Chain A
Amino acid sequence: MAAAIETKQLTKSYKARQAGTINVVDHLDLHVEEGEIFGFLGPNGAGKTTTIKMLLGIIYPTSGEGYVLGKEIGDMDVHRLISYLPERPYYYEHMTGLELLKFYGSLFGITDKEKFVQLLEKVNLHRDMTKPISNYSKGMQQRVGLAQSLLNDPKLLFLDEPTGGLDPIAHREIRDLILSFRDEGRTVFISSHELSEVELICDRVAIINRGVIAAQGKLTELLKGGRIEITAEDVPASLLSDFNIVDANIRTLPSGLLLDMPEENDPNSVIDAIRAHKGRVISVVPRRKRLEDLFVETVSTPGVKS
């Protein structure tokens, strides 16, 4: 599949008075395929927004290469095919939702009022399109932002914290919209702190920490390595030594025994052995690895450049 975004050793450095040169983004190699929802994660100050700004041509890389939809970053032709929703966007508040779309549309040479209304319908704002944006709630402002980002029918959308600070209903509305973008064949590049949200909608993610990619890949692959907890009672002590499972933890509880083991192991053989020795299996609970676990593990791993 073709790459929607490709960076090779992309670096952005700033000179600090005392600390010398700081690499905010450090030799970044990123690969985002067309048609996927890609999550770009990282703690505050990790370099997420700087990377997006470089990809949009708003700031200039210190070194390295970057390609968006096959063209070098900064190419004005690409700007006709992409769109951007910044974190906590501010729009000219004297405008109404409809006027805002007219303004942004005019930057593309789009003057079709019907299209503006259709987009406002898509984000469920058509009833409020003649109200000034200053009267919009946070969720409505985010939705009008998404509407403006669809004006040019973009192939690639950059969404910076699209659900930041929104209530659960607005969260869900935005999430559904983002999923609809993928169904329409668009590529979505999301920078976010909302890990549960990302886990629900993203196909692949990259975790950036202090300017360096710490992990990148399919969510299904990155989240491998969950565990299974088997609780049982009346298990003879002699059986415990028979469990020859790598990386297993066995704890004795007042109610019995808790066996915690990697999900790669077959729990059936353990369950069969317990039953064969007249033990009773109380529960089998798979503990799936969550994105939050991966995130914390990744950003706190020693060796990741700091």
Chain B
Amino acid sequence: MRPILSIAATTVGEAIRRRVLLVILLIGVLFIVVAPGLGILSARSETTVLRAFMLGVIQGVSMIIAVILTVYMIPNEIERRTIYTILSKPVQRWQFLVGKYLGAVLSLLLMMSMMSAVMGVMFFLQQQSKNPGEIADLLKGPAMYFIQMCLLAAVGIFFSTFLPPLVNFFLSIGVFLVGTFFNPLFQTLQENKNTAPMVKLIAQGVNTFLPNFANYNVQNPIINPTQQIQNEGRYFLGVTVYGVVYISILLIIGILIFDRREV
């Protein structure tokens, strides 16, 4: 366990010093800070727009950070030859990969927590604490996005075991977008009686195979309190378990590929 934690800690140390990530994070924080001023542009409720905008910024920025953080993870270690000194020590390849993934997750946690904290403060200042429970409710969004980003980081790490960074970058973003938008489309195809059986079968296959990122887009009930998830605790537990299982599968396959890879 110790090598995994050491590798994870080093990965966090590197991530928080990467200028590109810090610039993206800073842009995200700035958008959240100026968000209260955007409410006046909307005819809709100021609070609704503020919530939607802040959550959107956190999700978008986190997605970019998760992808950039993970696509270079393994190729950089190989290119800089740091992997050789590590693997020549009593460190198994799976420990290296899990350590890198854990480092990416901890870095995401750190960066997303920072954005969420700023969001909480800005929301509190704007709302003048009319209802403190609203802030807690609002933070459910980033919590779900965090699991979503852990899943995306697992996709990025998985591809980085055998793909160059540029291909991985577009592929990971592609998987994220398809995994986000395909599920609602799939539901429509399933419900439509005119859908050809073959199309339904293919859609079923894609829906099963691709990670369902849409599970974690819980912004609608947060933005519009009139919409509610029935049995919220059960839903959150369910999608968390789904995420953990999917991440585990991706990491196991990634380890099997990386274990055989010539570095």
Is there an interface contact between A58 and B263, defined as CB atoms closer than 8 Å?
Answer: yes
Is A88 close to B, CB under 8 A? yes
User: Nearest Cβ in chain A — how far from B18, in angstroms?
Assistant: 10
Cα of A103 to Cα of B10 in the assembled complex, Å: 8
- B residues 36-58 near A (Cβ < 8 Å) are none
- B residues 62-82 near A (Cβ < 8 Å) are 80-82
Is there an interface contact between A80 and B82, defined as CB atoms closer than 8 Å?
Answer: no
- One of A53, A80, A95, A103 near B84 (C-beta < 8 A): A53
- Which residues of the other chain, B, contact A95 by a CB distance below 8 angstroms? 10, 13
Is A56 close to B, CB under 8 A? yes
Looking at chain B's contact residues, the main secondary structure is helix
Q: Which residue of A lies closest to B82 (CB)?
A: A90
- Which residues of the other chain, A, contact B86 by a CB distance below 8 angstroms? 107
User: Nearest Cβ in chain B — how far from A196, in angstroms?
Assistant: 26
Is A60 close to B, CB under 8 A? yes
Is B232 close to A, CB under 8 A? no
Q: Which residue of B lies closest to A53 (CB)?
A: B84
- Which residues of the other chain, A, contact B85 by a CB distance below 8 angstroms? 84-86, 89, 91, 104, 145, 148
User: Nearest Cβ in chain B — how far from A159, in angstroms?
Assistant: 12
Is B89 close to A, CB under 8 A? yes
Cα of A106 to Cα of B5 in the assembled complex, Å: 9
Is A174 close to B, CB under 8 A? no
Cα of A152 to Cα of B47 in the assembled complex, Å: 59
Q: How many residues of B contact A (CB 8 A)?
A: 24
Is there an interface contact between A91 and B82, defined as CB atoms closer than 8 Å?
Answer: yes
Is there an interface contact between A59 and B262, defined as CB atoms closer than 8 Å?
Answer: yes
Q: Which residue of B lies closest to A55 (CB)?
A: B88
Q: A76-B90, A79-B90, A92-B13 are in contact. Are A107 and B3 (CB under 8 A)?
A: yes
- One of B3, B6, B84, B92 near A58 (C-beta < 8 A): B84
- One of B2, B14, B84, B87 near A92 (C-beta < 8 A): B14
Is there an interface contact between B92 and A76, defined as CB atoms closer than 8 Å?
Answer: yes
Interface string of A49-85 (1 = CB under 8 A from B): 0000100111110000000000000001101101111
User: Nearest Cβ in chain B — how far from A80, in angstroms?
Assistant: 5
- A residues 93-116 near B (Cβ < 8 Å) are 94-95, 103-104, 106-109
Cα of A82 to Cα of B91 in the assembled complex, Å: 13
Is there an interface contact between A107 and B6, defined as CB atoms closer than 8 Å?
Answer: yes
- One of B6, B84, B260 near A56 (C-beta < 8 A): B84
Given contacts A82-B88, A107-B91, 17 further A-B contacts (CB under 8 A): A56-B87, A58-B83, A58-B87, A59-B262, A60-B260, A79-B90, A80-B90, A83-B88, A84-B84, A89-B81, A90-B80, A91-B85, A95-B13, A103-B6, A106-B6, A107-B86, A145-B85
List A residues at the B interface (Cβ < 8 Å): 53, 56-60, 76-77, 79-80, 82-92, 94-95, 103-104, 106-109, 145, 148, 152, 158
Closest 10 CB pairs of A and B: A84-B88, A106-B6, A90-B80, A107-B89, A79-B90, A59-B262, A86-B84, A56-B88, A86-B81, A94-B17
